[in-house]
Structure 1
Amino acid sequence: MEINPLTKPGACHRTGVEVSGVKLSQPMGAEDKARLNRVFVEHGVLVIRDQKLAPREMLEAVKIFGSVFQQHNTRFALPDCPQIHYLSNQDRFPDGRRYVPGEGWHTDHSNDSRPPKATALHAVALPERGGDTQFANMAAAYEALPQQTKRRIAGLVAIHVYQSSHSARKLMALPQAGMERVPNAVLHPITRTHPESGKKSIYINPIRIEGILGLDHREALPLLDELLEHATAERFQYRHVWRPGDLVIWDNRCLLHKANGDYDMSETRYLYRVMLQGDVPC
């Protein structure tokens, strides 16, 4: 197994490593599992190259990093392996508009009381070019905040819902069963401490946050916009250019991500997705 950094030398963060020489469809020793988990916490994004995994093989492979989390919108579940969902640019909203999953900066399922600690995607079909996924390191972004801003956001709590009324991106509606299972709203701190690394991060999600507890929208929304603009600056980013067979797993506790719909939509972009159980943000 070889592990090499993907972040450019001199960057203010160490987001992303490439892992090669591994077949996730085969059993892995305890030492290698422990090494991958250490690297995951240190770098946030693991790009494991040249995999060819059936759904159940992927499900077993990602258990190296934790237990599987039940995703919210069951309309995307694979019938023969419902813990795995698919992402596809071939789906459409009821009004006929194309649904491009993953657009806009966000962290997955932050509207859960215990949001998933990680998300894994496995590339099954990709467009010839485009469709990159961008990641923003929220720990590096927090570290770079002015002390005055750190003091301002300390102790602030955001209200997370399934679909924020302020979000430019619209999500697919939940099926009735999902609406009964998913919380109406949860509260999470805007400054989050990573349970393993101990680092503090900015924890926001423009698709899910409805407001900040105790603040008027006239104060809360500009603050959230300011934090997002700061945190998603290019200096905090790693941009992943997908290759066939990539399995990419990332840390939702300290990263934002977004998919780019900048490719020929007559070509199929199709990936398997699994999430892993997390803890209560604090």
Structure 2
Amino acid sequence: MPVTVTPLENQPLGATITLPEGCTDPSKLSKEDFDILYKALLENLVIVIPGMEELTPESQWKLTTRFDPTCDQTGKSYGHGKEFRHDKSVLRKDGTSIPDQPQVQVLGQGHWPAGHYGMGEIDLRHPTHFDFHKSPLSDEQAYEQDHTRFYRWHIDSALYDLSPPVATTLLGIHVPPHSRKQKIVYEDNNDVLEVTQGATAFVSGAKAFELLTPEDQERALKTIVEYAPHPYIFISPARATSDGLTMVSEGKETPLDELPPWEDSKIKRLPLVWTNPVTKKHHLQVHGCCINKLLLPDGSNLELEDARKEVYRLMRPAIAPENVYAHTWNKGDLAIFFNRGVWHSVTGQFKPGERRLMHQCNIASGADPKTTISASA
């Protein structure tokens, strides 16, 4: 029996995967079965293989590389390192590497004793909006009323020098109980999305593109996003909007001449719209927090503040509750998402003593994404 794909019911995207009988390691799938898995990923954007709690970091890394033949298959280059772990990076506290498999990051919350894949004692910190948003929730809202926020809508990528990964794999090893629910209240219209504690939220870039007007679609197809050099260090002093879509422009960004050394040739200038190689759909794919400029088709540029306002306008309709798939984690869930087709966000916050442990892997691609402008666009 080959790999079977079961689309999620009553969800805007996503599917569950059943492996062939006897297969416990998806990195070892036959070419025929992996081709089914790859097609399922690009059609459903997020796929989940349950029961993978015994998957080793090595197998997770090997599986991740299979989704992108252009990425480094040797394990020597993977896109974390200095850019993410710099002491001034906004990502510096978000995880730690497995010593013998540094391509795999350990994420989560709480204190963990020594012995996890050769690691010593580790203290993990779940990213929360308290440290990142300009106007966070009150303690009463967060801990008594169980409200939460989208932390930061993003695509996984260094966005400087290295090309965005094709796929990310995320494995739930120790997950919070489903009984704890939290509410995301949209501050601009009072919509409510209920999520389980620590859910990972996803939206489709294709849906985001579909929601644009024909005029906006035509312009977006010909627009280039210029990201800031060392973007996670650039934005570190700034704070985000309350929905995690972009940053509030207050002039707090790290001045360009105070960043680590950078080269113009390594700045990422990527299409605002990327094309799905399987479905051929256009996906609005932008990391709204890390942008620096928009290069418009008429030859003009939108600088930082105006660029943020414009991508916010384009992105906001896509995160309406009916468009969000908030994955409830079960122990052993291996979620694989098409990083060039979705945006995702952490949600939730934890109380003292609550814990979570996950493994994440994504590998910088060997090539930047492209847009194919269709005649009907």
TM-score above 0.5: yes
Partner of 2:127: 100
Q: Does 1:268 align with 2:355?
A: yes
TM-aligned CA deviation for residue 84 of structure 1: 1.1
Cα pair distance change 1:4/1:209, threshold 3 Å: same
Cα pair distance change 1:89/1:28, threshold 3 Å: same
Q: Quick check: 49-58 or 20-29, which moved more?
A: 20-29
| Alpha-carbon separation, structure 2, partners of 1:196 and 1:21 | 21
Amino acid at match of 1:106: H
| Alpha-carbon separation, structure 2, partners of 1:153 and 1:261 | 32
| Alpha-carbon separation, structure 2, partners of 1:267 and 1:19 | 29
Unaligned residue ranges in structure 2 (runs of 5+): 86-95, 112-123, 129-149, 179-196, 248-259, 296-300, 371-377
| Alpha-carbon separation, structure 2, partners of 1:251 and 1:147 | 25
TM-aligned CA deviation for residue 265 of structure 1: 4.7
Aligned counterparts, 1:205-244, within 5 A: 205-213=287-295, 214-244=301-331
| Alpha-carbon separation, structure 2, partners of 1:154 and 1:61 | 32
Aligned counterparts, 1:1-282, within 5 A: 1-8=3-10, 13=12, 15-21=13-19, 23-25=23-25, 27-51=28-52, 52-66=54-68, 67=71, 70-73=78-81, 75=85, 76-90=96-110, 100=127, 103-109=151-157, 111-112=159-160, 113-129=162-178, 130-161=197-228, 162-163=231-232, 165=235, 168=240, 185-213=267-295, 214-278=301-365, 279-282=367-370
Cα pair distance change 1:160/1:90, threshold 3 Å: farther
| Alpha-carbon separation, structure 2, partners of 1:59 and 1:86 | 13
Moved over 4 A (4+): 179-184
Say whether the 8 Å CA contact 1:7–1:238 is kept in structure 2. no
TM-aligned CA deviation for residue 6 of structure 1: 1.2
Equivalent pairs, count: 266
Partner of 1:175: none
| Cα displacement string for residues 25-58 of structure 1 (whole angstroms, at most 9, x for unaligned residues) | 2732222111111111111111000012121232
Partner of 1:94: none
Q: Quick check: 49-58 or 153-162, which moved more?
A: 153-162
Cα pair distance change 1:147/1:280, threshold 3 Å: same
Cα pair distance change 1:212/1:98, threshold 3 Å: same
Amino acid at match of 1:2: T
TM-aligned CA deviation for residue 2 of structure 1: 3.4
Amino acid at match of 1:136: V
Structure with higher RCO (Cα < 8 A, 6+ apart): 1
Greater Rg by CA: 2
Say whether the 8 Å CA contact 1:2–1:19 is kept in structure 2. yes
Q: Quick check: 58-67 or 113-122, which moved more?
A: 58-67
TM-aligned CA deviation for residue 132 of structure 1: 0.4
| Cα displacement string for residues 207-266 of structure 1 (whole angstroms, at most 9, x for unaligned residues) | 321232311345322211111211222232211101000111101111000111234352
| Alpha-carbon separation, structure 2, partners of 1:205 and 1:7 | 28
Identity, in percent, stands at: 24
| Alpha-carbon separation, structure 1, partners of 2:9 and 2:79 | 30
| Alpha-carbon separation, structure 2, partners of 1:254 and 1:239 | 16
